[in-house]
Amino acid sequence: KIKELFAPGMIDARALLVLVNVIYFKASWEHKFEEQKTVQRDFKLNKNEKKPVQVMYQKGTFKLGYIEEMGAQVLELPYAQKSLSMIILLPGDMADGSTSGLEQIEKTMTYENLMLWASSEHMFEMTVEVYLPRFKLEGTFNLNEVLQEMGMTDIFTESKADLSAMSFAKSLVLSNVVHKTYVEVNEEGTVAAAGTGAVIVRRSLPLTEVFMADHPFLFFIRHNPTNTILFFGKLCSP
């Protein structure tokens, strides 16, 4: 799925060492969406714009939670391998009709909050009508600046870099860190390569809850036994 990790010209004659790490993930839903129930619906990109997309549908028993102060729903879609799940954080629309509720979630988002919001203590099994767009995401990111902001600076500086455990070449220095991702979600499942004031409550819910993912949301793929996040993404435009 990732056909070209390094752009032309990124590796030149000065390169002494290239390190590559690739992750490929493919899993089927525990409860697959029926393709004949997929129809075209509008996806709200922002307050004023929308676009037609293919939206999948199914009604079933799923774990659902609610972040009260942000009006956000948290849905768990399990994969056939029960140790894996996709968690979707869907913000509620703001009072002005915008979709900036996503920004509220991002401002308070930490690993600890993600685990709290999606914990079994705060999610409850119920009948849910799920509307989820098909989507495919691809992205390439240069991580140099991010890593340096995190304090990883010496390795990019020739006079300070120490990679002697990897090579006897004394001039070895890290020049580029490239991260490329691919995620595809469809009726069959997923292919992927590559405190806070919020209070979580159980609402008084109707017999059937509707989870309508027709505006930007966050998602992550979790290894349930260890609570490890394998992939994390944001869908703004399917």
> What's the rounded Cα separation, in Å, for the pair 161 and 172?
7
Q: How confident is the model at residue 140 (pLDDT cuts 50, 70, 90)?
A: confident
Contacts of 6 (CB under 8 A, 6+ apart): 18, 178
Q: Please report, rounded to a whole number, the percentage of residues in the chain having pLDDT higher than 90.
A: 28
Predicted confidence at residue 175, as pLDDT, reads 76
145 or 161, higher pLDDT: 145
Secondary structure in 3-state letters for the chain: CCCCCCCCCCCCCCCCCCCCCCCEEEEEECCCCCHHHCEEEEEECCCCCEEEEEEEEEEEEEEEEEEHHHCEEEEEEEECCCCEEEEEEECCCCCCCCCCHHHHHHHCCCHHHHHHHCCHHHCEEEEEEEEEECEEEEEEEECHHHHHHCCCCHHHCCCCCCCCCCCCCCCCCCCCCEEEEEEEECCCEEEEECCCCCCEECCCCCCEEEEECCCCEEEEEEECCCCEEEEEEEECCC
Predicted confidence at residue 208, as pLDDT, reads 75
Q: How many CB atoms lie within 10 A of CB 175?
A: 14
As a whole number of Å, the end-to-end CA separation of the chain is: 18
Predicted confidence at residue 204, as pLDDT, reads 45
Question: Nearest 10 degrees: CA dihedral of 113, 116, 119, 122?
Answer: -130
111: pLDDT strictly greater than 80 = yes
Instruction: Taking residues 23-39, report their average pLDDT.
Output: 87
Instruction: Taking residues 108-131, report their average pLDDT.
Output: 88
Q: In this predicted model, what pLDDT tens digit does every residue of 181-209 receive, in sequence order? A: 777 788 888 777 662 233 333 344 456 78
Domains of the chain, residue spans: 24-30+54-194+197-235
Instruction: Taking residues 5-28, report their average pLDDT.
Output: 69
Predicted confidence at residue 15, as pLDDT, reads 63
Predicted confidence at residue 202, as pLDDT, reads 39
Domain 24-30+54-194+197-235 -> CATH class? mainly beta
225 or 144, higher pLDDT: 225
